[in-house]
Amino acid sequence: MNVEPEAKPIKCLVWDLDDTVWHGILLEGSVELRPDAAEVIRTLDGRGILHAIASRNDHHMAMAQLATFGLADFFLCPQINWQAKSLSVKQISEALNLGMDSFAFIDDQPFERAEVQHAHPEVFCIDANHDLLSLLDLPRMTPRFISQEQSRRRHMYQQDLKRRGAEESFVGPAEDFLASLGMNLKIGPAEGGDLARLEELTVRTSQLNSTGYTYSLDELDELRRSPDHLLLVAELDDKFGWYGKIGLALVEALTDRWILKLLIVSCRVMSRGVGTVFLRDIMRRAQDAGVRLQAEFQKTDRNRIMMVTYRFAGFREVTRRDELVVLEHELETIPEAPSYMTVLDTDLGHPKAAVFRRDKS
């Protein structure tokens, strides 16, 4: 089970059940839980790696058996049916909105692994007959840091699935549904305890990422302390629960202008309008400080929507060098925050925030 160094971290591990999670065939009689499987499931869950199921089985019986073992709640979007497992993996990927290159699939049958591998070459396939505990040592399943968001990732995805169900059943305009959520967006300077999550955002977020720049925890800490930079963090909650810290902004504060070097918003909140509201807050802060506001945009293969966000907010291009575009906003008119979202500044009294006001010395 060797993993190439450049392979992406695993975000979801999809399990077969018979002779994988448990010993034996459920439809043929009693089964016995594999202790190593249970330990892997619980340990990886604590690391923020999600679990799902692709099993040919009776759905009701299998979920009842998992409940007996105390494991049913660990699995998202269980696909327990008689279809091809490659199709089940695809459906899980779509439901969780995760790329195939972040999936692993574990099964005791060579045919099933080959079928999934043929349909989805990016998926990391694992032989369940090997020592499962060795999975815990794989670099792709061992994050450097475990943030609060990582340790709660399964719960946040479960909340997201409830939100999605509520949205699908809601009758009325989209803005009315957003208003029904009771969203609160908190924005303020990053603290030391935020850095692990912010590093994760720079590495994992690709669509709502203005430049594709990545920063290590140490680099972020240096920027957080720098008198010439403002590192902002945004977190969101609603009536279903806490989304976590879902955005960061890095501003270089020059004497006459601010340069927004990096704006990232988690793809999980793409449909909530958070990117535009976060950007509006930065515009207001720059206006408060009496400086011009510029923003860098570096095109990648997935972040076109960020340019749309800047344009929609009123930024215009001022210079271009290869793929790096510098945009600027006049700050004469800053749009109001949408009525369906409450925006809270968490930096009142924060010493770093005071540095970037109009009356700074």
Query: How confident is the model over 245-267, as a mean pLDDT?
Result: 94
State the burial class of residue 43 (Cβ atoms within 10 Å of its Cβ: 0-12, 13-18, 19+): middle
The pLDDT value given to residue 22: 98
Domain count, the chain: 2
Residue 2, pLDDT above cutoff 50:
no
pLDDT digits (tens, 9 = 90+) for 258-314: 999 999 998 888 888 899 999 999 999 999 999 999 999 998 888 888 999 999 999
- Residues 137, 96, single domain; the answer is yes
pLDDT digits (tens, 9 = 90+) for 175-219: 999 999 999 999 999 999 999 899 988 887 777 889 988 899 999
- Residues 206, 158, single domain; the answer is yes
- Residues 116, 216, single domain; the answer is no
- Residues 161, 290, single domain; the answer is yes
- Residues 215, 321, single domain; the answer is yes
Domain boundary among 141, 172, 187: 141
The pLDDT value given to residue 361: 39
Q: Is residue 101 part of a domain?
A: yes
- Residues 195, 258, single domain; the answer is yes
- Residues 137, 152, single domain; the answer is no
Specify whether the backbone of 322 is left (phi greater than 0), alpha (psi in -120 to 50) or beta: left
Domain boundary among 125, 141, 157: 141
CATH of the domain at 96: 3.40.50.1000
The pLDDT value given to residue 1: 36
The pLDDT value given to residue 6: 56
The pLDDT value given to residue 7: 74
Tally Cβ neighbours within 10 Å of residue 159: 18
Q: Is residue 329 part of a domain?
A: yes
- Residues 115, 185, single domain; the answer is no
Q: Is residue 1 part of a domain?
A: no
Q: Residue 145 phi/psi, 5° resolution?
A: -130, 150
CATH of the domain at 261: 3.40.630.30
**Spatial distance between the Cα atoms of 356 and 352, rounded to a whole number of angstroms:** 7
Q: Is residue 245 part of a domain?
A: yes
- How large a percentage of the chain has pLDDT more than 90? 75
- Residues 243, 207, single domain; the answer is yes
**Spatial distance between the Cα atoms of 261 and 307, rounded to a whole number of angstroms:** 14
Q: Is residue 332 part of a domain?
A: yes
Q: Is residue 31 part of a domain?
A: yes
- Residues 130, 175, single domain; the answer is no
The pLDDT value given to residue 346: 81
Listed range (55-69, 116-130, 182-196, 339-353) with the worst mean pLDDT: 339-353
**Spatial distance between the Cα atoms of 182 and 131, rounded to a whole number of angstroms:** 47
pLDDT digits (tens, 9 = 90+) for 135-162: 999 999 998 878 888 888 999 999 988 9
Query: Helix 174-181 and helix 153-169: axis angle, to 10°?
Result: 140
The pLDDT value given to residue 212: 85
**Spatial distance between the Cα atoms of 67 and 256, rounded to a whole number of angstroms:** 61
Residue 92, pLDDT above cutoff 90:
yes
Query: How confident is the model over 212-229, as a mean pLDDT?
Result: 93
Q: Is residue 107 part of a domain?
A: yes
pLDDT digits (tens, 9 = 90+) for 24-80: 999 999 999 999 999 999 999 999 999 999 999 999 999 999 999 999 999 999 999
Residue 234, pLDDT above cutoff 80:
yes
Residue 116, pLDDT above cutoff 80:
yes
- Residues 68, 170, single domain; the answer is no
Q: Is residue 238 part of a domain?
A: yes
**Residue ranges making up the domain that contains 345:** 148-355
